[in-house]
Amino acid sequence: MTKTLTALTAAALLLTGCGASTSGNLTIDPQDIQYVQDSRTGLCFAFVGSGKKLDPDTSGVAMSNVPCSDKVMALIEG
């Protein structure tokens, strides 16, 4: 899990550094959102990768801190 979280963070930073454009071209299906919990801090994160094609201007990775609610924990464990 730590490797996944590190890889996602690195990907998000790379995309931010590349100036990826997200102006209306991303489609996000809530079923595609994944959840992880950082074992070092106990914080929970939601992340999703999305885009219409493999192009820096139309694809990206988003990651956000979310509450570790019972529903989130069930999705992490499920």
Which residue range(s) make up the domain with 51?
A: 2-19+26-77
pLDDT at 38 over 90: yes
Write out pLDDT tens, residues 4-35. 656 556 555 555 444 445 555 556 778 889 99
Task: Specify the higher pLDDT residue, 54 or 44.
Answer: 44
Whether residue 45 contacts residue 65, with contact meaning beta carbons closer than 8 Å, is answered with: yes
Task: Specify the higher pLDDT residue, 13 or 75.
Answer: 75
Query: In this structure, are strands 34-37 and 44-51 parallel, antiparallel, or unpaired?
Result: antiparallel
Q: What is the DSSP string of 34-66?
A: EEEE-TTT--EEEEEEEESSS-TTTEEEEEEEE
pLDDT at 42 over 60: yes
What domain count does the chain have?
A: 1
Query: In this structure, are strands 34-37 and 59-66 parallel, antiparallel, or unpaired?
Result: unpaired
pLDDT at 54 over 70: no
